[in-house]
Amino acid sequence: MIAITGSGEIAISVARNLIQIGHEICVYGRQHTIAPEIEKHYRKLDQYRFINFDSRVSTLLVTNGSFILNQFEKLKTSEIDELIESNFGVVTNIVQRFLQQTVSDIRRDVIVLGSTAAYDLGPLASVYGASKLALKGFLTSLNKEYAKTDTRFSYISFSTVDNSMGKLVPDQIQETLLELGELSKEITLRVTRDTNYFEPETILRRRFIQEHKSK
């Protein structure tokens, strides 16, 4: 059984792929409404810290996060808090709940979606990039902590996507953005892969990268 947290466009696209190939899934999110084909697989949450996983879940895909592009000194304190909480705090809580509530002596895979901002640490996304970098470090540490078990943690980073979040970045040439359907296929491949290896870090970049510019 595969669990997905977050109900954004990438999460829903991956969920559709998994349903089409016959996987049993459960999607957890805070949205009140969801795509009709996902409804019977959807669990509405008020807060992620109260998430409860089915003990049969062996693979977890975490898609949570938020993005604000602005100069650091112009960010509101509430915006800084939201960026850190949604991109790091919530994720650590979800992963801990998963580890506590699922069977520890079977193969378990935790896959977290990040951003190439964790590597680039560019301008106008300082708190976002730093939060994603902290998340990468968190998963690296967990792989060492769980090295003697069959639980593994993977971090998938990607550049700006042609979706609603990607459109928050101004002056981007649409043709250079990552296509949502193609990206979700790459993620689905890694979520369903049943091999004797895993990818602790995956980086999917655009062939033509554009710098962030102020709005």
135-154 confidence digits (pLDDT tens) = 999 999 999 999 999 999 99
8-state DSSP, 73? G
110-140 confidence digits (pLDDT tens) = 999 999 999 999 899 999 999 999 999 999 9
54-88 confidence digits (pLDDT tens) = 999 999 999 999 999 999 999 999 999 999 999 99
The reply to whether the predicted model has a pTM over 0.75 is yes
CA 109 – CA 61 distance, rounded (Å): 8
* Whole-number percent of the chain with pLDDT over 70: 93
Domains, in order of start, for the chain: 2-204 (3.40.50.720)
Q: What is the pLDDT of residue 213?
A: 62
Contact 160, 178 (CB under 8 A): yes
Please say if the pLDDT value at position 168 is more than 70: no
Contact 156, 111 (CB under 8 A): yes
Q: What is the pLDDT of residue 161?
A: 85
